[in-house]
Amino acid sequence: MADQLCGSAVIGEGRFGCNHFEWQPEDPAPVLGFNHMKERMIMVMGFQFWKQTAALAAASFLALAIGGEALAWESTKVYYNNQGQLQYAVDSDANRIVDFSYAGYHRGERDIPDSSAISPVLNVSPVTGDNTTALQQALNTVAAWPLNANGIRGVVLLAAGDYPVHGTLRINASGVILKGAGFDDDPALNTVLRRPLLTTTNKNPVLVAGGNLSSNWSGGDTPQNRRDITSSIVSVCNRSFTVASTAGLAAGDNIIIKHPSTQAWIDSVGGGGTAGDPSWTVDSLPLVFNRYITGISGNTVTIDAPLTNKLNRSLSQSYLYKYDRAGLLTEIGVENLQITIDTASPTSENHAEDALVFNTVEDSWVNRVKVKHFVNKGIVLQTSSRVTVQNSYSVEPHSKDEGGRRYNFGVESGQLNLFVNNLAQQGRHSYFGNGATWDSGNVFLDNTAKDSYDVSEPHRKWGHGFLYDNHKELDLRGTNKIVLGLYNRGDYGTSHGWSAANSVLWNCDVGKGKAIIEHPPTAENYAIGCKGNISGTGGPFRSVIPTTTGFIEGTGQTQLSIPSLYRVQLAERLGYTYPAVADAFVRAGSFSATNYGSAASMELKNSDNSKYDRDIYLKLDYTGYSRGQIGKAYLMFYVDYSEPKQPLSFYGLANDNWSEDTITWDTAPSAAGAIVTGTVEVSATGWYSVDVTDYIKSQTDKMASFKVTDRSQANVLARISSKESTAYGKPFLVISPQ
């Protein structure tokens, strides 16, 4: 006997898909779960009475789900389709979520260089007294060495020790890596660059890397070098458009795209939404994009990374020009050291304002650096693109708790930069953008803010295309403060107005704080799958402008099918997704010698009578993954049928020696010694994911086999779509280098 009740009920931002029931003759009598109740009522009470009773049972079941059951939850704005491909919804204003995967060192397409394998190396030890001259001489020495094929000159390797630095150190050439022995506090084991408290105050940064121009990529913007963009609209995330002439342009050219801030554009965004402050002014806030040409066909130009804001020719005539790259430096690395600033007290300000500044830099990195006791900025990227800042600490700022202070990690005219796995402490703006319309495409991934005084945000004047992905707040100073903001800042500062557009909070946890998401004119902001107080109604200028709520969904969901937006976007773009090469389910009892390798749907069940049990086996081949680093790995699978609350356990096996054409319950590989990768509770149809990072990292042959089982003994059935399915997506592995 088989029966099927199909329907879809929306619960807040969650969804239930079709629930199916299948009772096979060998199965025990169904007694648990809503579908089992339904089957028994059909048999005993008749269809009409069942419909009424089932409706009540369904209502009770759905109410239980609202109470916190983990569901397969996907955003309506970006999600996997049935074939396992990312899909994006576009609203009536042609707004959509940006593809953020181009952020980071070489657009995320290369690993940061392994400095331990780079030569030549200049070894340096601390000297007595001020080390500024000795360290600068070492940096200048390596700066004079020739570039290798990868654009690297060599490494200045600092021994452990305390290095008093009275002045400012400058890395003033491409291809120079400054590396220490460690970034913790003990100078006996680590490298500490220390600005002492001097009789004559030096408020300049301790270390500056780059060209020191702060040009906002303006070099080359002359009338004769401009090419008008003739497309009437270039929508968010587009990479192609037409120009008046492609003469003199070629693939590989570094270009700047500029959308001037005309009065018409300013009017379209409500004057900037500045509340009582003056409106934004003509030519003060152009939308600027630093890009490379990847192709030319006729008058159509294709660029390397998508736009993060719409270009509307009816509001402003956009154009492009070839960037002259004057003063731009590349392939600079700062690693494995600490920068600390001596101060008179935790609230004093008579000391260095900034610790580490990257200025006019591209394709560079900061890794394992700790900065302490700055007034204004800890680690900041100015007029910089495609820089990765990772595994670093910006902590214990020493200053008053006032404006213009305690900016831990961020950008000022920064584009396509990636901040990943960092810790900010006691910040007013822990993770920020402060370059107005020149800021775009920046990603903050897996970062933590602790003891926050104020909000992480694009800070002012239309920063666009920011992603906060898996951001976490800990130990907030006070309660219910705004700690993440994509909103209107009105007359804060100097006419800050709309600070963010086309920006996203994804799977963030605001702890005891709150996030405010507001809808800017002509654009959108999003908060998807976040935890805590996520609102569009608590903005500081909502009653003045007035503002409306941005797009918010999935608040409180604990089981997102896409755990990290940046990672799945990067994996899909670079081809780091690996479908199952073998999959099958096996069945106990009288079917223990039967092979189900050709089934389109794989069954899972665990009964109090083991002869009815069914397990699933998956094999995935990722030998095509050539990157040296694995940041995260997710196993994605599509549940095409599930009964309520079924916990699936995933075991990473040591044995890949099985075939889907021959595997049975009797011949299946043992799970002895298997790595338990996690448990996922399935309660509805849809895509699910499980983090299998540690297991994938352990497989030196780049082959992965999983046993999937249900140990609940609840007599419930789930089915996972197999690689043979034509209706739903096959299981696949997602690997992200970050």
Q: How confident is the model at residue 536 (pLDDT cuts 50, 70, 90)?
A: very high
* pLDDT at 4 (0 to 100): 27
Each residue of 482-517: pLDDT tens digit?
999 999 999 999 999 999 999 999 999 999 999 999
* pLDDT at 102 (0 to 100): 98
For helices 34-45 and 47-66, angle between their N-to-C axes, nearest 10 degrees: 170
Q: Kindly report the pTM of this predicted structure.
A: 0.90
Neighbours of 371 (CB within 10 A): 29
Each residue of 629-683: pLDDT tens digit?
999 999 999 999 988 778 899 999 999 999 999 999 999 998 887 888 888 888 8
Closest CA to 309 of 525, 105, 517, 508: 525
Q: Are 517 and 295 in contact (CB under 8 A)?
A: no
Integer-rounded Cα Rg, in Å, for the chain is 28
* pLDDT at 131 (0 to 100): 98
pLDDT greater at residue 38 or residue 461:
461
* pLDDT at 678 (0 to 100): 82
* pLDDT at 27 (0 to 100): 38
CB burial of residue 521 (10 Å; 0-12, 13-18, 19+): middle
Query: In the predicted model, what is the mean pLDDT of the chain?
Result: 89
Each residue of 329-383: pLDDT tens digit?
999 999 999 999 999 999 999 999 999 999 999 999 999 999 999 999 999 999 9
Each residue of 322-333: pLDDT tens digit?
999 999 999 999
Residue 689: pLDDT over 90: yes
Q: Are 365 and 388 in contact (CB under 8 A)?
A: yes
Q: Return the DSSP state at 502.
A: S
Neighbours of 346 (CB within 10 A): 12
Each residue of 17-38: pLDDT tens digit?
333 323 333 333 333 333 333 3
Beta pairing class for 300-303 and 233-234: unpaired
Distances (CA, A) of 646 to 2, 521, 642, 676, 715: 20, 44, 8, 17, 9
Q: Which residues contact 623 (CB under 8 A, 6 or more apart)?
A: 701, 702, 703
- Write b or e for each residue in 533-559: b if 16 or more Cβ atoms lie within 10 A of its Cβ, otherwise e: bbbbebbbbbeebebebbbbbbbebeb
Least confident of 312-326, 390-404, 711-725: 711-725
* Side-chain-side CA neighbours of residue 660 (13 Å): 21
Q: Are 62 and 9 in contact (CB under 8 A)?
A: yes
Each residue of 259-318: pLDDT tens digit?
999 999 999 999 999 998 999 999 999 999 999 999 999 999 999 999 999 999 999 999
pLDDT greater at residue 403 or residue 212:
403
* pLDDT at 26 (0 to 100): 38
Residue 10: pLDDT over 60: no
Q: How confident is the model at residue 88 (pLDDT cuts 50, 70, 90)?
A: very high
Residue 246: pLDDT over 90: yes
Q: How confident is the model at residue 53 (pLDDT cuts 50, 70, 90)?
A: very low
> From the centroid of its chain, how far is CA 390?
13
- In order, the DSSP letters of 291-343 are EEEEEEETTEEEESS--SS-EETTT---EEEE---TT-EES-EEEEEEEEE--
Distances (CA, A) of 162 to 73, 125, 195, 350, 572: 51, 9, 10, 22, 45
* pLDDT at 477 (0 to 100): 85
* pLDDT at 44 (0 to 100): 31
**Among all chains, which residue has been given the structure tokens 């780059």?**
210
pLDDT greater at residue 319 or residue 71:
319
**Among all chains, which residue has been given the structure tokens 């976007």?**
569
Local structure of 413: helix, strand or coil: strand
* pLDDT at 201 (0 to 100): 83
Residues 70-75 have a mean pLDDT of 72
Give me the amino acid identity at 490: G
Closest CA to 567 of 83, 103, 111: 103
Q: How confident is the model at residue 69 (pLDDT cuts 50, 70, 90)?
A: very low
Domain ranges of the chain: 2-66, 117-214+328-475, 223-322
* pLDDT at 106 (0 to 100): 98
* Side-chain-side CA neighbours of residue 557 (13 Å): 26
Which residues on neighbouring strands pair with residue 506, listed in sequence order? Answer: 469, 528
Residues 228-256 have a mean pLDDT of 97
Residue 532: pLDDT over 90: yes
CATH class held by domain 117-214+328-475: mainly beta
Residue 392: pLDDT over 60: yes
